[in-house]
Structure 1
Amino acid sequence: MIRFEQVTKRYPDGTTAVDGLSFEVSEGELVTLVGPSGCGKTTTMMMVNRLIEPTSGPILVDGEDIAAVDPVKLRHRIGYVIQQVGLFPHRTVLDNTATVPTLVGWKKAKAGARAAELLDLVGLDPKTFGSRYPDQLSGGQRQRVGVARALAADPPPAFGRGDPQCC
């Protein structure tokens, strides 16, 4: 569950990107933020993983205020896809996909196997695409690698529960 309670993001220049936003997303529920460019959609999503800090109002994930959670650990537990994909240009598709499992301590073989499994899941044959670099992919293929990477570390369905078999 993700809950925003009167969350506001105001920048030092006075620009208000998000103003008093309240909503709740239940576990398993899919939500789409729709609106014109500049209305705060990306800012809202970036506040969930603390890439942007809200000016006021709590954001809770499974009842826990994320302001009290170390931002790096928080990001390791939340799968997300960056708007412009954000793949590392100097790393192969397989290595890009295995990034988070590697960061959280998975053994290289397990991280690579999980990356290959997810590339296959998103329709990119790991034997064909795994050794390629992001600039050798189409935009849609890059987006699919970003989705695979977001799922790679098995983000837990409930916030704060680590994967006991991760390493």
Structure 2
Amino acid sequence: FSLLIASTGRPRLVVANDVNPHAVEAMLEAARLNASRLRSPLLVLGLDARRLPELLAPAYDRIIMNLPHAATEFLPVARSLCAPRGCVVHLYTVASAPEEALQGLPGWARPLAPPLRVLDYAPRRFIYRVDLRLRPLGRVVDEQRVADAVAAGEQRREPAGQRGGGGRGCNHD
């Protein structure tokens, strides 16, 4: 995925990480061979993903997690790398049915669409892609409570010119 994404030139930076040193070597070689096609910088790392938050700022708006047998275990790591406004995670997992692909997801990982079956894996087992919206750490909002307050007209309204922050309101996701 990393080379294709970097070839579009849309991201400011593409980070590819794999704990397998052979995969890292292959990625570096592929990047070298395709260097003329890359339009975005590509950073290739060979780390346990749990270490990424120590090295990378929480600035990512899209994360691909293609370790189908253990991707859900790394969702907290992905969440800590999300940009302040949140991020979209494309999580790949092995399951027998779409419903099973959604099992074990934390409440702060909201599916954006039904799981998509992308590959046959074994008899009656498939690899699914689950697209999730993650809220960044420290910015959890009870959406139902906000919706209820808006519906009931309970939002606090301040007279013009008396708002905090120089007349600018605060908008939370």
TM, length-normalised to structure 1:
0.30
Greater RCO, CA 8 A, separation 6+: 1
Larger Rg: 2
- Say which structure is richer in strand: 2
